[in-house]
């Protein structure tokens, strides 16, 4: 790993005093050198200082932005490139996610949470692209608000029409993420009539899991899964699971 990255890393994280966290993040940074180029990049974010503590090599390939410019100017520069029509809904999404977490998620479970939202961002060619951001908290302040996070950004073509959504999922004892919060801030595709449990079942159906396997992952019975499947099709006025999967494979951030 580059010596400069080590020096920067040590300076940033020495005040947190969590050796296990330090080692975890160091390994993430080291791994970046071996990851293939793709349409996804990651950053280590500091929401307390509004800085990017690390930016993976894929960022420039994905967005055409200069890595050092992004790092030196931080999150304000990044947010300043967001589509003006998305800013209000994006802020609402982040605010509601924070309120939900502090009110509904026990402090000891917050390290098991993952959050997803989306927006449009202007790339290096001054063209807007879709960003789906998934952030997992790594460190919390004295009020148990997440401040250090591992954020993955998936870049999609601007012609893909994405509604602005936000979700929060909790990793359960079966090592499966369960939806605890979901909100669509644009015109609904999946209406508010779809429950969080049904969203989890839809997500697992897209991954080609059987009712039996879904039941195991969500700690419910196969009969309950089948009941949810029938209710989903009825609510969405869809005739088959295959039709549902076809609609949602291009809109997976909606679940």
The two structure tokens encoding residue 231:
């209710």
Judge if 233 and 144 occupy the same domain.
no
Question: Domain with 215 in it: what CATH number?
Answer: 1.10.10.10
Q: Which domain holds residue 135?
A: 3-187
Q: Indicate the Cα dihedral angle 129, 201, 190, 246, nearest 10°.
A: 60
State yes or no: pLDDT of 2 exceeds 50. no
Q: What is the mean pLDDT of residues 103-120?
A: 92
For residue 196 the two structure tokens come to 């969080």
Residue at token pair 């969590």: 18
Residue in 100, 109, 9, 94 with CA at minimum distance from that of residue 52: 9
From CA 230, how far away is CA 240, in angstroms rounded? 9
Q: Are residues 196 and 140 in the same domain?
A: no
Considering the domain architecture, whether residues 81 and 200 belong to the same structural domain is answered as no
d(CA 193, CA 30): 44
Confidence of residue 7 (pLDDT cuts 50, 70, 90): low
Give SS3 for 55. strand
- Claim to verify: residue 147 and residue 242 sit in the same structural domain: no
pLDDT digits (tens, 9 = 90+) for 212-237: 999 999 999 999 999 998 888 887 76
Task: Please tell me whether residues 106 and 210 are part of one structural domain.
Answer: no
d(CA 190, CA 254): 7
Q: Which residues pair with 97 in a beta bridge?
A: none
The answer to whether 253 and 188 are in contact (CB under 8 A) is: no
Q: Are residues 14 and 67 in the same domain?
A: yes
What is d(CA 6, CA 30) in angstroms, rounded to the nearest whole number? 10
Q: Which of 187, 202, 224 is the last residue of a domain?
A: 187
The answer on pLDDT for 188 being more than 80 is no
* 89 vs 152: which has the higher pLDDT: 152
Query: What is the crossing angle of helices 222-236 and 211-218, to 10°?
Result: 110
Q: Are residues 243 and 181 in the same domain?
A: no
* pLDDT score recorded for residue 19: 45
Whether 167 and 100 share a structural domain: yes
Please check whether residue 12 is in contact with residue 127, taking contact to mean a CB–CB distance below 8 angstroms.
Answer: no
Answer yes or no: do 17 and 96 share one domain: yes
Q: Are residues 113 and 51 in the same domain?
A: yes
Mean pLDDT of the chain: 82
Which of 160 and 197 is assigned the larger pLDDT? Answer: 197
């Amino acid at each position: 790993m580059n010596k400069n990255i080590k020096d920067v890393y040590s300076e940033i994280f020495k005040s947190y005093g969590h050796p296990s966290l330090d080692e975890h993040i160091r390994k993430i940074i080291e791994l970046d050198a071996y990851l293939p180029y793709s349409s996804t990049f990651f950053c280590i974010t500091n929401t307390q200082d509004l800085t990017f503590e690390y930016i993976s090599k894929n960022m420039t390939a994905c967005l055409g932005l200069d890595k050092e410019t992004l790092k030196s100017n931080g999150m304000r520069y990044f947010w300043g490139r967001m589509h003006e029509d998305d800013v209000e809904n994006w802020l609402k999404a982040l605010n509601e996610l924070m309120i939900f977490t502090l009110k509904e998620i026990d402090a000891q479970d917050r390290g098991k949470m993952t959050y997803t939202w989306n927006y449009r961002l202007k790339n290096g060619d001054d063209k807007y692209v879709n960003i789906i951001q998934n952030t997992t908290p790594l460190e919390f302040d004295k009020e148990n608000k997440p401040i250090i996070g591992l954020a993955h950004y998936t870049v999609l073509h601007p012609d893909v029409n994405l509604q602005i959504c936000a979700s929060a999922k909790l990793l359960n004892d079966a090592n499966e993420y369960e939806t605890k919060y979901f909100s669509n801030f644009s015109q609904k595709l999946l209406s508010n009539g779809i429950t969080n449990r049904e969203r989890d079942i839809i997500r697992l159906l897209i991954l080609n899991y059987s009712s039996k396997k879904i039941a195991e992952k969500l700690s419910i019975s196969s009969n309950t899964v089948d009941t949810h499947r029938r209710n989903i099709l009825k609510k969405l006025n869809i005739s088959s699971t295959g039709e549902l999967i076809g609609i949602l494979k291009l809109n997976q951030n909606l679940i």
